[in-house]
A = this chain, B = another copy of it.
Amino acid sequence: MGDNESLKRLTEALKKAEVGAEEALRLLRNQATLDMGFARLDSARGVLRFFPEVVLARGKSAAEVVSIVDRLHRETGFAVASRVEAEHAKPLMDEFPRGEYHPRAMVFAVGKPEVERMEDEGSVGLVTAGTSDNRVAEEAGVILELLDVEVGRYYDVGVAGIHRLEKVLPELREAAVLVVCAGMDAALPSVVGGLFAGPLIAIPTSVGYGAAFGGVSALLSMLNSCSPGVCVTNIDNGVGAAAAAVRILRGTGTKR
């Protein structure tokens, strides 16, 4: 916008010969470097088009989280934070009384993001192996719902009792994308991946103890899934899986 304006003014000035060619060259080059760089254009078509910045509250003081949320909210009308502990939630709610805190998901949000829904946009199925994996699934689920994505929840259907998975299978198959959360042996994505033909994002969770190594066992298991095409995020990374699902639902070239 402003760029266009200043460029227009420059070209007009050039036409009017108000500036010499050498000087124009210098101005143009600066213009190109400072204002017209591909980076700004990028951001218009980059990941931020469909997915907001998410503040990681963990490891930050409540004051820091409040301050970052405040800035984002004022700049964009929307702010969302993940891994929001009780100690963060109280001051956030005090500061942003219209905000919402989702304790199971440990997500806090205030305002409403700009959302571009696709026509005929499918839903995201959230699947967990055990109830301990639900917090991570909810982190993805709450964020997806904030972005107006339709979400289905299929929790506690781990393979040790495979009849539980069977029951939800027909519904699962209606989803456009599945997000499968599992810790320990993380066998669930491999089984689901053989029964579902669509995109499957696997989140290893830090559930388990001993040789679970804080999610490493699940991570390796998922990376080595015997079902082809299982994609993996970082351990406990509900935000990342939500972003990956949104990339699939809204970011494929033919739909944009």
Indicate whether A159 sits within 8 Å of B160 (C-beta atoms), given known contacts A211-B223, A230-B244: no
Choose the segment among A88-96, A107-115, A194-202 that binds chain B (4+ C-beta atoms closer than 8 Å).
A194-202
Inter-chain contact A223/B228, CB cutoff 8 Å: no
Nearest Cβ distance between residue A21 and chain B, in whole angstroms? 5
Inter-chain contact B186/A228, CB cutoff 8 Å: no
Q: Does chain B have a CB within 8 A of A146?
A: no
**Distance, CA A112 to CA B239, complexed state (A):** 40
Indicate whether A235 sits within 8 Å of B209 (C-beta atoms), given known contacts A33-B41, A248-B252: yes
Nearest Cβ distance between residue A88 and chain B, in whole angstroms? 15
- Which of A165, A210, A250 has the most chain B CB atoms closer than 10 A to its own CB? A210
Chain B: which residue is nearest A182 at the CB level? B226
Inter-chain contact A174/B21, CB cutoff 8 Å: no
Nearest Cβ distance between residue A241 and chain B, in whole angstroms? 8
Find chain B residues with CB under 8 A from A170 CB.
33
Nearest Cβ distance between residue A83 and chain B, in whole angstroms? 8
**Distance, CA A204 to CA B220, complexed state (A):** 13
Give the copy number.
Answer: 8
The B-contacting residues of A in range 50-98, CB under 8 angstroms, are 50-51, 54, 56, 58-60, 68
Of the candidates B29, B220, B239, which one forms a contact with A228 in the assembled complex, judged by CB atoms under 8 Å apart? B239
Indicate whether A159 sits within 8 Å of B159 (C-beta atoms), given known contacts A185-B222, A229-B244, A239-B228: yes
Chain A residues packing against B (C-beta within 8 Å): 4, 7-8, 11-12, 14-17, 21, 24-25, 28-29, 31-34, 36-43, 45-51, 54, 56, 58-60, 68, 120-123, 129-132, 158-167, 169-170, 173-177, 183-187, 190-191, 193-201, 204, 206-237, 239-240, 242-254, 256
Known: A160-B227, A223-B233. 18 other contacts (CB 8 A): A11-B25, A33-B36, A37-B163, A42-B194, A46-B161, A46-B195, A47-B195, A47-B228, A122-B252, A161-B194, A162-B194, A191-B191, A197-B256, A198-B248, A199-B251, A211-B219, A211-B220, A216-B220
List, sorted by A's number, 6 A–B pairs whose CB atoms are closer than 8 Å: A46-B161, A51-B228, A159-B190, A175-B253, A212-B224, A224-B234
